[in-house]
């Protein structure tokens, strides 16, 4: 049998930025090994981070404090300070304008002092008016899922485990309502972290905070059960793994993508480069890599098959499961015939199955790459993101950038009816991004990134000077100073091929949740990223099925990718599948 896979090129859709950067394609990218949540988890496992619950003092009303400590090795210690509050419906919201949350916390370079914790308790509730203590990496907030939390506390108080199916369908005990860092509230910018800092990569500090919030949610439900009854039992370890942290995201992530194109461009290029390498790895019958890949595809299909939610803009999980079953069956046939590769498999199914199934088949190939290769690629994600204007650049060079990277923008018809249907603004009550019909908004600032319009305006100015290709950008800006921001962006991003989704966010047919889901699923690593049918909000679960802190402390190697509901558990009392 040949040990070399058939000579099949890397699928074009992996290497072509124009194909990848379509919003409906980006929304189909799944959580993977290089998502922030997974990459942090793998780092914690490999480097044997340990977790300690230093203190937990919470009364029967849920008022009190807790302190968790993370030892990342090399003398690096982080404290996660928790302040727990009695739930109140007054001022309770997931938005920044809320005044009541069930839990607030801060991740601080530690060990912290009592003074650090006291000052944090005083400042956290102020939010934008507050100031984090030195060394603070994140501020966090969360609220309970009343149905799931109360059901679990009641069951544990009665000496039994909660209804597994009910917890599976809700997916969390507490829901994240804010993970703020990277300079917000005077938290540390990740660019200030030294080269050996365990949390120097973008989003790792936020995802560590979410991980500990998940631990606290389970600890809190056990604590409340013990306050109700001396006969209360702890939450089963398997159930602890099954429960994630709930999350809801909206249009703010769209603006994150617009304002962090270097971070997004770097991350996507790393992802696609690793995917291209992984597709060329040989897969042979009976070999460890092939069997591991098959197992993951089967788990992914099973996970999609039991997804309890209804998706409006995204693929039906039942369709994804059926298509993955086809991929598994065909892979077995290819392996039986000889050595194959991911490239051969993916090329055959390009256009033959739904996008989400194809992307899952591709993303799981990343699991076959050596940890050192993946880790080295991820390390390249640190970027200073300042735009710099280059006034001496010849206009001919600027013309070349437009022709290479912005053909899609130049071809976007901004004069068609509906091309400028919407404007974007900030709501007065919540200071959050909103979209509304242009005909109903009189004046005010449009917060949208009109990238097609900006590119076309630059193009028009260049066409005015088509007889003077040697003229510089500085000379052009002397005549058109209004183009400076657009040209500065174009110049600064010329080394990034994956930096900006190909979208007209002003158009009547633009679907914002496509970009929100891309961030939640592909970049952050959330599972069950479901839209609510309003084109604005995406729900999801952080660390669903992930190892617990106790698992990490014990060094347990447990398969938690694409978690399955524990089969031994018997459903008892349904509490509803709503979130």
Query: Taking a C-beta distance cutoff of 8 angstroms, is the pair 133, 108 a contact?
Result: yes
DSSP element (H, E) containing 148: helix 146-157
Instruction: Give the per-residue pLDDT at 574.
Output: 36
Buried b (16+ CB within 10 A) or exposed e, 323-361: bbbebbebbeebbeeebbbbbbbbbbbeeebbbbbbbbb
Taking the C-alpha atoms of residue 460 and residue 409, their distance in angstroms, rounded to an integer, is 13
- Describe the strand order of the beta sheet including 172-181 as a list of residue ranges: 50-58, 64-71, 77-84, 103-109, 136-144, 172-181, 244-249, 538-542, 527-531
Q: Which of 54, 44, 42 is nearest to 79 (CA)?
A: 54
For the chain, the average pLDDT equals 91
Q: Would you say how long the chain is, in residues? A: 579
Token output for 425: 């603004």
Work out the angle between the directed axes of helices 355-363 and 288-305 (0-180°, nearest 10). Answer: 140
Higher pLDDT, 401 or 96: 401
How confident is the model at residue 364, as a pLDDT? 98
Strands 103-109 and 282-283: unpaired
Q: How large is the average pLDDT for residues 179-189?
A: 91
Sign of the four-CA dihedral 112, 114, 115, 120: positive
| CA nearest to 201, candidates 68, 41, 408 | 41
pTM for this entry: 0.93
pLDDT band, very low/low/confident/very high, at 430 (cuts 50, 70, 90): low
For the chain, the domains span: 12-30+282-368, 36-251+547-554, 395-492
Range from 48-62, 418-432, 455-469, 543-557 carrying the lowest mean pLDDT? 418-432
Of all helices (H) and strands (E), which one includes residue 65? strand 64-71
pLDDT-derived band at 578 (thresholds 50, 70, 90) equals very low
Task: Report the pLDDT averaged over residues 365-383.
Answer: 89
Enumerate residues 6+ apart whose C-beta is below 8 A from 442: none
Q: What is the pLDDT of residue 384?
A: 75
Confidence of residue 98 (pLDDT cuts 50, 70, 90): low
Alpha helices for 229-369 (secondary structure H): 237-242, 252-259, 261-279, 288-305, 317-337, 342-349, 355-363
Q: How confident is the model at residue 49 (pLDDT cuts 50, 70, 90)?
A: very high
What span, in angstroms and rounded, lies between the C-alpha atoms of 49 and 70?
Answer: 7
Task: Please tell me the predicted confidence (pLDDT) of residue 3.
Answer: 42
Cα angle, residue 81 at apex, residues 128 and 381 outer, rounded to 5°: 70
Question: Span 508-517, mean pLDDT?
Answer: 95
Q: Using CA of residue 87, residue 89, residue 95, residue 97, what is the dihedral sign?
A: negative
> For position 317, what pLDDT does the model report?
96
127 against 445, higher pLDDT: 127
Who wins on pLDDT, 127 or 56? 56
3-state secondary structure at position 97: coil
Specify the pLDDT at position 568: 46
Is-contact 180 140, C-beta < 8 A?
Answer: yes
Which of 557 and 573 is assigned the larger pLDDT?
Answer: 557
Question: What pLDDT shows up at residue 429?
Answer: 65
Residue 7 has pLDDT above 70, yes or no: no
Instruction: Classify each residue of 489-512 as buried b or exposed e, where b means 16 or more C-beta atoms within 10 Å of its C-beta.
Output: bbbbbbebbbbbbbbbbbbeebbb
Q: How far is CA 244 from the centre of its chain?
A: 14
Residue 535 has a pLDDT of 87
Q: Which of 161, 102, 201, 66 is nearest to 549 (CA)?
A: 66
Instruction: Kindly tell me if the per-residue pLDDT of 575 is higher than 60.
Output: no
State residue 570's pLDDT score: 41
For residue 1, pLDDT beyond 70: no
Q: What's the pLDDT at 2?
A: 35
Please return the burial class of 383, using the count of CB atoms within 10 Å of its CB with bins 0-12, 13-18 and 19+: middle
Q: Cα(216)–Cα(210) distance, rounded to whole angstroms? A: 10
Residue-wise pLDDT for 233-287, tens only, equals: 999 999 999 999 999 998 889 999 999 999 999 999 999 999 999 999 999 998 8
Q: Hey, which bits of 152-230 come out as E strands?
A: 172-181
- What pLDDT digit, counting tens, does each position of 305-316 carry? 999 889 999 999
Question: What's the confidence (pLDDT) of residue 432?
Answer: 76
Alpha carbons 97 and 99: distance in angstroms, whole number: 7
Tell me the C-alpha distance between 343 and 334, whole Å: 12
Q: Is the pLDDT of residue 159 over 60?
A: yes
Q: If you ran DSSP here, which 8-state letter would residue 367 be given?
A: G
């Amino acid at each position: 049998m040949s040990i070399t896979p058939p000579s099949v090129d890397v699928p074009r859709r992996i290497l072509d930025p124009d194909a990848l950067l379509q919003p409906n394609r980006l929304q189909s990218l799944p959580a993977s090994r290089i998502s922030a949540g997974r990459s942090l988890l793998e780092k914690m496992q490999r480097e044997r981070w340990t977790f300690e619950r230093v203190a937990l003092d919470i009364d029967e009303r849920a008022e009190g404090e807790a302190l968790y400590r993370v030892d990342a090795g090399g003398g690096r210690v982080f404290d996660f300070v928790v302040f727990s509050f009695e739930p109140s419906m007054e001022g309770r919201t997931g938005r920044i304008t809320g005044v009541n949350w069930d839990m607030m916390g801060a991740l601080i370079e530690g060990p912290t002092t009592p003074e650090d914790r006291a000052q944090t308790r005083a400042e956290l509730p102020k939010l934008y008016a507050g100031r984090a203590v030195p060394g603070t990496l994140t501020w966090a907030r969360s609220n309970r899922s009343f149905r799931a939390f109360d059901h679990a506390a009641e069951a544990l108080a009665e000496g039994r485990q909660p209804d597994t199916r009910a917890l599976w369908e809700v997916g969390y005990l507490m829901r994240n309502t804010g993970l703020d860092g990277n300079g917000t509230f005077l938290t540390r910018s990740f660019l200030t972290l030294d080269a050996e800092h365990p949390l120097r990569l973008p989003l790792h500090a936020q995802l560590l905070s979410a991980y500990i919030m998940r631990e606290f949610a389970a600890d809190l439900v056990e604590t409340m059960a013990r306050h109700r009854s001396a006969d209360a039992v702890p939450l089963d370890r398997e159930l602890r793994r099954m429960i994630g942290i709930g999350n809801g995201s909206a249009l703010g992530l769209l603006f994150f993508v617009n304002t962090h194109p270097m971070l997004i461009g770097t991350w996507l290029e790393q992802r696609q480069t690793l995917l291209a390498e992984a597709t060329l790895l040989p897969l042979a019958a009976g070999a460890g890599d092939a069997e591991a890949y098959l197992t993951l595809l089967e788990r992914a299909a099973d996970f999609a098959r039991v997804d309890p939610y209804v998706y409006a803009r995204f693929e039906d999980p039942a369709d994804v499961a059926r298509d993955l079953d086809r991929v598994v069956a065909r892979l077995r046939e290819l392996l039986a015939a000889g050595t194959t590769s991911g490239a051969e498999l993916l090329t055959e199914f390009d256009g033959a199955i739904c996008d989400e199934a194809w992307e899952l088949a591709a993303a799981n190939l990343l699991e076959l790459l050596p940890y050192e290769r993946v880790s080295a690629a991820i390390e390249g994600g640190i970027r200073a993101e300042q735009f710099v204007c280059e006034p001496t650049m010849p206009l001919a060079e600027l013309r070349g950038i437009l022709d290479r990277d912005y053909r899609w923008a130049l071809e976007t018809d901004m004069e068609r009816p509906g091309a400028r249907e919407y404007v974007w603004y900030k709501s007065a009550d919540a200071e959050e991004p909103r979209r509304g019909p242009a005909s109903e908004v009189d004046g005010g600032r449009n917060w949208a990134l009109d990238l097609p319009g900006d590119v076309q305006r630059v193009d028009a100015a260049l066409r005015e000077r088509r007889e003077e290709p040697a003229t510089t950008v500085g000379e052009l800006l002397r005549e058109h100073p209004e183009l400076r921001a657009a040209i500065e962006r174009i110049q600064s991003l010329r080394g990034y091929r994956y930096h900006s989704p190909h979208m007209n966010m002003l158009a009547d047919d633009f679907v914002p949740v496509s970009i929100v889901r891309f961030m939640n699923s592909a970049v952050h690593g959330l599972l069950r990223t479901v839209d609510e049918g309003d084109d604005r909000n995406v729900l999801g679960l952080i660390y669903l099925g992930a190892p617990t802190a106790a698992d990490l402390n014990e060094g347990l190697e447990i398969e938690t990718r694409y978690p399955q509901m524990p089969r031994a558990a018997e459903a008892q009392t349904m509490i509803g599948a709503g979130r």
